[in-house]
Chain A
Amino acid sequence: MAEDVKPTRKNLMEIEDRIELSERGHDTLEQKRDGLIMEFMDILDQAKDVRSDLNEDYDHAQETINMARAVEGDVAVRGAAAALKEHPEITSQSKNIMGVVVPQIESSRVRKRLDERGYGLLGSSSRIDETAEAYEELIETIVLAAEVETAMRKMLEEIEKTKRRVNALEFKLLPDLRKNQEYIEQKLEEQEREEIFRLKKIKAKKEEEASEAAEAEREADETAEEPERVSADD
């Protein structure tokens, strides 16, 4: 509230400084927001592709495992899956996109050669191989989707945050500061006008007092001269 601010020149200068800083911050945040939106659009395209790949890979993996369970039997498929020793590993690092820390997820030992899957070649079939391949592909896509979609979510949160800051500056802080500035300026002008008026009044009063004193002096002089003239006549 503008009325809460003391209308002093010091406050005015402080508010002017804050307005300048806020305007600079507003411009910077606007640029950041626009940059983030551009980055987000790139990630969004990538996320759409990854999501579509994920759906495709999931459907394919489900279809191959359904077929394998149908033809080889559920027990054979479970047995082949149980033979795996080296499970995939996921490592997570982070990278910075315009100040937003997003994860960089890397997977290792997902894709395996035929001899690394743990089940014997002699007692298995290519349906099992193709099911394993389909799931290896799916895991890689899931890891990629996790990376891209987390980055997208974080970017979105950052855009929202930046947008809220820009809006707060644009629609709340800066208008309030300007209102305060205007209020103080008005008050100061008013004080100035009052001061001038007061000074004028004082000056007028002083002039009036001076003229009154002069008049009194003159009258006193005239009174003193009158008896002297009467005695001389005598």
Chain B
Amino acid sequence: MSTASGTSNPEYVVARVRARKASLFGDDDYRKLVRMGPAEIARQMEESTYEDEINALGARYSGVDLVEYALNRDLAGQFDDVLGWTEGRLYDLIARYLRKFDAWNVKTVIRGLYSNVDRETVEADLIRAGEFSDRQVDRLLNAGSIEGVVEVLDGTLYGGPLADALEEYEDAGVLVPLENAVDRAYYEQLLANLVVDEATEMYREFLTAEIDFRNARNGLRLARSGADLDPAAYYIDGGRLFSASELSALSESRDELLARIRDSVYGDQLDNALTVVEETESLIGFERALETALQSYADRLGVVHPLSVTPVVSYILAKEREVDNIRAIARGREAGLSPERIEAELVVL
């Protein structure tokens, strides 16, 4: 198993991920998929790199569920491979981003326990693509109670924050403090102690943009809902766009918040999306624009500094995009959406 100790091996990892990236679905594949039904999509996936997952899950699931679970399992396998190949500082940089799947798994287990969902269903919903080993994930699944989960996570990134949030959870009886603690722990470790050099500068820019965009969308969601929340519940440190007090003040006035984003370094990229938000109540278009902006960062990551962390991160983001796109197409087709609508609403071709 790889660790953060030792020397980085970007040459080897980059060569491996380049080969993997070359086999990702392209625009033409998506254009074909948007005209297929869920069963045809599953069959098409069976003829691609998803063959093993489709065959392994085919007996248990069918239709769109089969597609979604196969995508999740493949994503987990691919990222597990990437983490397995990397060593040294490169491992640390990649693991920072992939820990979002650990956060996802912790939240899924907690939600399952909270709503008394059986173990098998919770297990099916996990994406084992993060840093946690299978043994750790199994211990989480066997924890039996939310307090047990917190105990199992003691000593990990999430243990401390969850233990702090446990009292608030017990008082309020809602999952918000626990979920926020997990998400905050993930976001805050993204940039913590990050040693930046020329090769990792763009990666840091990408992570900073992700935090800024998360803060911006949460501020706008809050402004839209009218809820009066403690900034600690939604603000993430590490961005360059807002401080906690600024975001708290701005989230009371949507117009001021939009003006602030427009005047920021992201203003040009998000100009059209901001106009849409000003004209309509919905934030969905804005979030889509944020995702597109992050993707353009990811695309740029792939072509600069070819022997560094950036091509690896670019592959990870491209793989995530592929999974999102195929799932969106399959679910969209299942819901009876037209190919044009799916292309316009869901997939960035």
Enumerate chain A interface residues (CB-CB to B < 8 A).
62-63, 66-67, 69-71, 73-75, 78-79, 82-83, 85, 113-116, 118-123, 125-127, 129-130
Contact = CB atoms under 8 A, between A and B. Distances in A.
B222 A123 contact: no
Majority-rule SS of A interface residues: helix
B74 interface: no
A113 B217 contact: no
Nearest to B226: A113
Given A79-B111, A82-B114, A115 B335 contact: no
B170 to A, nearest CB: 13
B108 A75 contact: yes
A164 B113 CA distance: 58
Contacts of A83: 111, 114-115, 174-176, 179
Given A74-B68, A74-B331, A114-B221, A79 B234 contact: no
B111 A126 contact: no
B261 interface: no
Interface residues of B, number: 57
A121 B111 contact: no
B327 interface: yes
Given A113-B225, A122-B184, A69 B176 contact: no
Contacts of A82: 111-112, 114-115, 117
A148 to B, nearest CB: 27
A115 B287 contact: no
B233 interface: yes
A6 B64 CA distance: 82
The 4 A-B residue pairs with the shortest CB-CB distance, nearest first, are A120-B179, A122-B183, A66-B335, A70-B331
B179 A115 contact: no
A70 B287 contact: no
Interface string B308-329: 0000000000000000100111
A129 B182 CA distance: 20
Contacts of B224: 126, 129
Contacts of B182: 120, 123
Given A119-B175, A126-B217, A114 B115 contact: no
B331 A123 contact: no
B221 A126 contact: yes
B174 A118 contact: yes
Given A67-B345, A83-B114, A123 B179 contact: yes
Given A66-B331, A71-B328, A85-B174, 4 more contacts: A82-B115, A114-B222, A126-B221, A129-B221
Interface in B182-220: 182-184, 187, 214, 217-218, 220
B65 interface: yes
Contacts of A121: 176, 180, 218, 221-222, 229, 233-234
Contacts of B217: 125-126
B227 to A, nearest CB: 4
A122 B214 contact: yes
Contacts of B125: 75, 78-79
Contacts of A123: 103-104, 107, 179, 182-183
B320 to A, nearest CB: 11
